[in-house]
Amino acid sequence: MKRILLTGAEGQVGRELQHSLTPLGKVICASRGEIDFSQPDAVQAAVTAMQPDLIVNAAAYTAVDRAESEPELAQLVNAVTPAMLANAAQQLGVGLVHISTDYVFDGQHYLPYLETDSTHPLGVYGATKLAGEEAIRVTGCLHLILRTAWVYGTYGKGNFVKTMLRLGAERPEIRVVVDQIGSPTWSRDIAQAIAHLIPQLNPETAGTYHFTNSGVASWYDFAVAIFEEARLLGWNLQLQRVIPITTEDYPTPARRPAFSVLSHQKILPLLGEHPPHWRQSLRSMLVELRQAV
């Protein structure tokens, strides 16, 4: 049976991967104590000792604003340690699946980004994720880099959906940015896509791909949809109004791309079908979250 090493197994994508990867082999969930991404020197030796047949890396430093004040830690987790994983994969002769981000782009496009479009991250988070991508490619290991965007899920400490639900239960009105456009993406859909792609990973299909849910939205659109769906499910909300604001009205330490929609053109032949629409996936996630609370 294939041994699949899963790093970042307790994150919102990692928790979903624990389930989606199970049909493909024995999933080895590496805890932070076993593979500490802030200690890259020990990572390669630890992975080599585990002798996996495949490495799936769902670990990342994802605190976009905090990364501006912790660039060294973000670089360690998002770039240096993935390079160590890639070196281990190359030495073992196994594949590496790595999750990256839409934040490698600057958001100046008006059409969905292709994998071949020029990258130009606006902040530390995007820059360190891009550095991780480049470090993996340099090793020459068999790899699949999956860029995704606007991730939310049932698991994990916090994401936009959970934040909106919390604020909506506490406040009569919320202000949400309307001039940043992307594709909200359910962590389960990412995990299922990865499980579908892994059996197809070979030297011809290796490379970088984009995957998000279908459709586009602003953060404001996303918030309005969350509250509409939550009300239908009986969520107790105090919210009466969602107010659209601009990025300038809500300054943050990190700059974010104004438009980061990712093209599905390259990945569609491997997936065999379009990803679910973001609103459909949001509804499914909220049903599950509602049952869990």
Q: What residues are labeled active site?
A: 125
Cα–Cα distances (Å) from 74 to 4, 64, 195, 291, in that order, read 25, 9, 27, 35
**What DSSP state is assigned to residue 262?**
B
Integer angstrom CA distances of residue 274 from 65, 105, 215, 231, 241: 32, 23, 10, 28, 33
Cβ atoms within 10 Å, residue 246: 10
Of all helices (H) and strands (E), which one includes residue 4? strand 3-7
Alpha-helical segments (H) within the chain: 12-20, 40-50, 71-75, 81-92, 124-139, 160-170, 187-197, 219-232, 268-271, 278-292
CA separation for the pair 143, 139 (Å, rounded): 10
Residue 246's φ and ψ, nearest 5 degrees, are: -95, 165
**Greatest Cα pair distance in the chain:** 57
